[in-house]
Amino acid sequence: MVALVIAEHDNGSLKGATHHTVTAAAQCGGDVHVLVAGSNCGAAAEAAAQIAGVSKVLVADAPYFADGLAENVAEQILAVAGSYSHILAPATAYGKNILPRVAAKLDVAQISEITKVDSPDTFERPIYAGNAIATVQSTDSVKVITVRGTGFDAAAATGGSAAVEQIAAAADFGKSSFVGRELAKSDRPELTAAKIIVSGGRGMGSGDNFKLLEPLADKLGAAMGASRAAVDAGYVPNDWQVGQTGKIVAPSLYIAVGISGAIQHLAGMKDSKTIVAINKDPEAPIFSVADYGLVGDLFEVIPQLVQELG
């Protein structure tokens, strides 16, 4: 058995989710290869070659891979799929856009957002917003899998010495083109990679009140997040949303401020190592998953907390 990991990258460096996916691939048994499809992506390929546990890196370099269009990357995966028993990608917007196309073309069932590998053909994945874990066994000749990064430790970024092999680039699919990308710029850590997250909910009351959390996030070097209720109310941008329909996170420390703890939000953050909840409602569901809970008015508690942190 040989597993193929589809690297998520920006041509110059790998995204952290790729390292978690390599760990899942290694647990499937056999060798692990990584496919880097990009344009002038030598730096990303070299980074992939250094990941512990990777035995080979395949590089498909062509201008039409520059922006990771799903149609083109899927064609490249299909060109090499016959050599692999497992094809895995991160369960990010990137992986979720590509692998369903691959599974459909291979006429196999995709196994989505796995959090555990029980055996080479049996996997665990959350259902019902994480309230139940389904054990899924696949008899397909090729397992097409997306990996929830919070379920697996990241493979070491150094220590490997994989061979790097240039492969023929699949032809441009030709039916889609890259138009543009709008990226939110922030001096804070990226939400899904942050070790500490300060998140606000509807209890913040307004977008202006979210500024109250900024000094706390700055003191801790934290990313800022939000519940869907806060995003839907227009308090903060969509890319701050944590939850079942937002970003799945598992930082070392998650501070939930004014978040009641709807099941959809809990599904996105309950795997955090330490959860601190601040809410004036002692019956708020967030306290059921919190390691530390503080019942109080956030508008009084947060300034006091910032002051204590110096």
pLDDT digits (tens, 9 = 90+) for 301-310: 999 999 999 7
Q: Please tell me whether residue 95 adopts helix, strand or coil conformation.
A: helix
Mean pLDDT of 187-206: 92
Neighbours of 166 (CB within 10 A): 12
Residue matched to tokens 């599904």: 267
Lowest-confidence range among 1-15, 175-189, 202-216? 175-189
Which of 30-34, 93-97, 245-249 is predicted with the least confidence, judged by mean pLDDT?
Answer: 245-249
- Asked if 36 contacts 166 with a C-beta cutoff of 8 angstroms, the reply is no
Q: What one-letter code names the amino acid at 289? A: V
The structural domains of the chain, with segments of one domain joined by +, span 2-166, 191-308
Return the CATH architecture of domain 2-166.
3-Layer(aba) Sandwich (3.40)
pLDDT at 137: 97
Class of domain 191-308 as given by CATH: alpha beta
Q: What is the DSSP letter of 286?
A: G
Distance of CA 260 to the CA centre of its chain: 24
Residue 310 pLDDT: 78
- pTM for the full model? 0.86
The one-letter amino acid code at 119 reads: S
The domains spanning 2-166 and 191-308 adopt the same CATH topology: yes
Torsion of CA 229, 215, 309, 257, to 10 degrees: -10
Q: Do 216 and 222 form a contact (C-beta atoms < 8 A)? A: yes
Whole-number pLDDT of residue 181: 81
Q: pLDDT by residue (tens digit) across 43-54?
A: 999 999 999 999
Residue matched to tokens 């917007």: 93
Give the DSSP H/E element, type plus range, for residue 300. helix 298-308
CA-wise closest residue to 172 among 69, 100, 36: 69
Secondary structure of 55-90 in HEC code, one letter for each residue: CEEEEEECHHHCCCCHHHHHHHHHHHHHHCCEEEEE
Q: How far is it, in rounded angstroms, from Cα 9 to Cα 67?
A: 10
Question: Which residues touch 180 (CB under 8 Å, ≥6 apart)?
Answer: none
The per-residue pLDDT of the chain, averaged, comes to 94
Helix (H, G, I), strand (E, B) or coil at 4: strand
**Order of strands across the sheet with 116-119?**
116-119, 122-127, 132-137
**Mean pLDDT across the stretch 37-41?**
96
